[in-house]
């Protein structure tokens, strides 16, 4: 085993020497962050204010948008700071804190998307039993469970990483991620790898597979239903499917970069692919749901004074 060193900082090497371009990048990132905060906060506020939106589907969407604000806060303030800074060192404590925030965001996002797909499944496949199944107690549980699950399993991830000794402190990232940190370790990482595999299997089993099952069943029902029912299902399910694919591809980009050499790609492209899952879903989801879902669109216009009150 190589000689290990007790590092107090990690160096985020992906920022590199961008010279005067840092001001341009900072302006772009600031605008994106502002739009993310404005769009998500607007939809959250509208759902909270409008009683007509106090239905399970919109409450689950509200939880999705809250999580997106949470995840964005884990990236953007630090990203804006390091773009303007001459040094790109991050303390060990803040590095682990950022890992915890970004990982809880990612897993909670997958869980929230699974909950939304389950809600659509019950609504379309069992419309007469919907209110009996989606009781206030069940709704609260489906909103809180993703957070509890994500906080718990990521606390174990961080506790396993805290015990590691490192042979280096340079991360080829613009933010800290656990996989890159573990790769720098000189000590035994078997427990980290086993737990990472367990978390991956659990997350896919609890989110992706139920989501696929829900939409297979929805498709089966729609094929037997009237044109009006098909159109209603299409209008409510399309934004969610787009959100799921958008976020899944973003996470896939991060996984592929961690496991395969992407040095042949331009540095700016590698960085965009790394932050895609933290920028595009929080940026486009509230806009997409606001445009595609009539009740949210009308409620936004009503709150903003652009639509006549009823």
H or E element, residue 49: helix 21-49
Using an 8 Å Cβ cutoff, are 177 and 102 in contact? yes
User: How much is the pLDDT for 22?
Assistant: 85
Position 98 scores a pLDDT of 94
Which helix (H) or strand (E) covers residue 211, if one does? helix 209-223
Q: Is the pTM of this model over 0.85?
A: yes
Secondary structure of 236-298 as H, E, C letters: HHHHHHHHHHHHHHHHHHHHHHHHCCCCCCCHHHHHHHHHHHHHHHHHHHHHHHHHHCHHHHH
The radius of gyration of the chain's CA atoms, rounded to the nearest angstrom, is 21
- Among residues 254, 71, 75, the alpha carbon closest in space to that of 172 is found at 254
> Which residue, among 155, 12, 4, 1, has the nearest Cα to 92 in the 3D structure?
12
* Domains of the chain by start residue, with CATH: 9-303 (1.20.1070.10)
- Predicted confidence at residue 310, as pLDDT, reads 47
Give the whole-angstrom CA distance, residue 301 versus residue 39: 13
> Per residue, what are the HEC states of 148-194?
HHHHHHHHHHHHHHHCCCECCCEECCCCCCHHHHHHCECCCCHHHHH
Q: How far is CA 65 from CA 32, 187, 251, 268, 284, in A?
A: 16, 39, 18, 28, 11
Determine how many CB atoms are found less than 10 A away from the CB of residue 202: 13
Q: If you search the block for the tokens 């190589």, which residue do you land on?
A: 2
Query: How does 56-75 read in b/e, with b if 16+ C-beta sit within 10 Å?
Result: bbbbbbbbbbbbbbbbbbbb
pLDDT at residue number 308:
53
- Taking CB atoms within 8 Å and a gap of at least 24, the contacts of 28-31 are 29/76, 29/79, 29/80, 29/83, 30/80
Count CB neighbours of 307 within 10 A: 13
How confident is the chain (310 residues) per 10-residue block, as mean pLDDT?
A: 67 82 90 94 89 88 94 93 88 92 94 92 88 92 94 92 87 88 87 86 83 85 74 76 87 81 79 90 87 73 63
Beta bridge mates, 12: 171
d(CA 72, CA 40): 11
């Amino acid at each position: 085993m190589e000689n290990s060193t007790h590092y107090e900082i990690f160096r985020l090497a992906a920022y590199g020497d961008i010279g005067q371009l840092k001001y341009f990048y900072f302006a772009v990132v600031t605008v994106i962050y502002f739009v993310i905060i404005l769009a998500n906060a607007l939809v959250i506020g509208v759902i909270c204010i409008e009683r007509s939106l106090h239905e399970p589907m919109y409450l689950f969407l509200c939880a999705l948008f809250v999580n997106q604000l949470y995840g964005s806060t884990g990236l953007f303030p630090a990203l804006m700071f390091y773009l303007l800074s001459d040094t790109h060192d991050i303390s060990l404590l803040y590095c682990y804190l950022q890992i915890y925030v970004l990982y809880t965001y990612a897993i909670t996002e997958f869980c929230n998307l699974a909950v939304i797909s389950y809600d659509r499944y019950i609504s379309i496949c069992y419309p007469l039993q919907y209110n009996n199944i989606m009781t206030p107690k069940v709704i609260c549980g489906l909103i809180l469970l993703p957070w509890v699950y994500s906080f718990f399993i990521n606390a174990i991830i961080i506790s396993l990483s805290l015990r590691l000794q490192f042979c280096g402190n340079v991360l080829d990232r613009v933010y800290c991620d656990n996989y890159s940190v573990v790769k720098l370790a000189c000590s035994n990482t078997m427990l980290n790898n086993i737990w990472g595999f367990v978390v991956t299997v659990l997350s896919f089993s609890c989110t992706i597979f139920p989501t696929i099952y829900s939409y297979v069943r929805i498709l089966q029902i729609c094929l037997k239903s009237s044109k009006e029912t098909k159109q209603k299902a299409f209008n409510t399910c399309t934004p969610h499917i787009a959100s799921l694919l958008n976020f899944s591809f973003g996470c896939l980009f991060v996984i592929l970069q961690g496991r395969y050499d992407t040095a042949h790609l331009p540095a700016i492209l590698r960085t965009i692919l790394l932050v895609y899952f933290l920028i595009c879903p929080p940026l486009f989801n509230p806009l997409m749901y606001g445009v595609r879902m009539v009740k949210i669109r009308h409620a936004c216009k009503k709150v903003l004074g652009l639509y006549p009150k009823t």
